[in-house]
């Protein structure tokens, strides 16, 4: 099915997700268009759950997800917060396994994220930032129409976090939607076209970043966060794995199965 120009690549309609009867997402309806959409909000607001529902890693309790613009041999790409690459393999060998499934070039994928010189290094010898870049490279193999990235810059030093976020944002074009969960509001200001701000599992505001700043009299994404959420301080940097006060990155969904391989969902 072809997507009409300027239409959404993916749409959530009335999506609710509960765990033990407690709603983590509640009646969320939104479309994700080509470009970069940043999903932000306090810890436990449902950001990671929204991404997992979006890519099919978690089934909604109610509502539906449609993908009118996600086409091709690999329509979806997904980077979870933790990507436990198997040790003993080089970066090139790691990507080559998945690249063969979608007809992509592992060396080209490494170059796209700035790891062209690291192909022969074993995964366990890569720095945390380089492993995160490898995860981004893996998630975008096959040029998916929808790329969902959960905290791609989490826990990285300033230079590497910018590099990781930029590598993710550069995948967006006229046909590709990149959806990024992030606490890095300075990078949201720099790279995001649109923002979805979650609060207690519901959408507080959503739309083009420039429009939201004007509507709320905010100078930047950090001030928008403070105005909408009502907190005295917005996240100043990536906070570990983001959602989940225990650092688990689970949005409180402890019963959810872990997703072990980038781009491959446990369904």
| pLDDT > 90 in the chain, percent | 62
pLDDT on residue 6: 61
Handedness of CA 122, 127, 132, 133 (dihedral sign): negative
Domain 10-229 has CATH 3.40.50.300: yes
pLDDT at residue 258 above 50?
no
Instruction: For residue 165, count CB atoms less than 10 angstroms from its CB and return exposed for 0-12, middle for 13-18, buried for 19 or more.
Output: buried
Q: Which residue ranges make up each domain of the chain? A: 10-229
pLDDT at residue 246 above 70?
no
Q: What is d(CA 11, CA 181) in angstroms, rounded to the nearest whole number?
A: 17
Reported pTM: 0.83
Lowest-confidence pick of 17-26, 111-120, 174-183, 226-235: 226-235
Tokens of 260: 């072990």
Closest CA to 164 of 140, 139, 194, 133: 133
pLDDT at residue 234 above 90?
no
Q: What is d(CA 48, CA 207) in angstroms, rounded to the nearest whole number?
A: 19
Q: How do residues 159-214 score in pLDDT, each as one tens digit?
A: 888 888 888 888 898 889 999 999 999 999 999 999 999 999 999 999 999 999 99
Choose the most confident range, by mean pLDDT, from 32-36, 227-231, 236-240. 32-36
Lowest-confidence pick of 5-14, 216-225, 255-264: 255-264
């Amino acid at each position: 099915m072809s997507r009409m120009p300027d239409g959404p690549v993916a749409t959530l309609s009335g999506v609710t997700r509960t765990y033990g009867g407690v709603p983590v997402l509640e009646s969320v309806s939104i479309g994700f268009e080509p470009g970069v959409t940043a999903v932000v909000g306090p810890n436990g607001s449902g950001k990671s759950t929204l991404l997992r529902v979006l890519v099919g890693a978690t089934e909604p309790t109610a509502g539906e997800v449609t993908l009118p613009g996600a086409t091709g041999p690999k329509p979806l790409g997904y980077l979870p917060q933790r990507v436990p690459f198997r040790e003993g393999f080089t970066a090139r060998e790691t990507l080559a396994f998945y690249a063969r499934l979608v007809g992509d070039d592992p060396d080209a994928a490494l170059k796209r994220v700035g790891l062209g010189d690291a192909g022969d290094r074993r995964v366990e010898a890569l720095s945390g930032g380089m492993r995160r870049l490898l995860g981004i490279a893996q998630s975008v193999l096959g040029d998916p129409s929808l790329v969902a990235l959960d905290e791609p810059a989490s826990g990285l030093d300033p230079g590497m976090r910018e590099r990781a976020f930029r590598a993710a944002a550069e995948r967006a074009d006229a046909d590709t939607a990149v959806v990024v969960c992030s606490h890095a509001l300075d990078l949201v200001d720099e790279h995001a076209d649109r923002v979805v701000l979650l609060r207690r599992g519901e959408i507080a505001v959503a739309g083009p970043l420039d429009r939201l700043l004007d509507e709320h009299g905010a100078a930047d994404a950090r001030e928008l966060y403070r105005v909408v959420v009502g907190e005295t301080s917005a996240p100043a940097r990536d906070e570990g794995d983001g959602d989940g006060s225990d650092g688990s990155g689970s949005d409180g969904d402890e019963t959810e199965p872990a997703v072990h391989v980038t781009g491959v969902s446990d369904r």
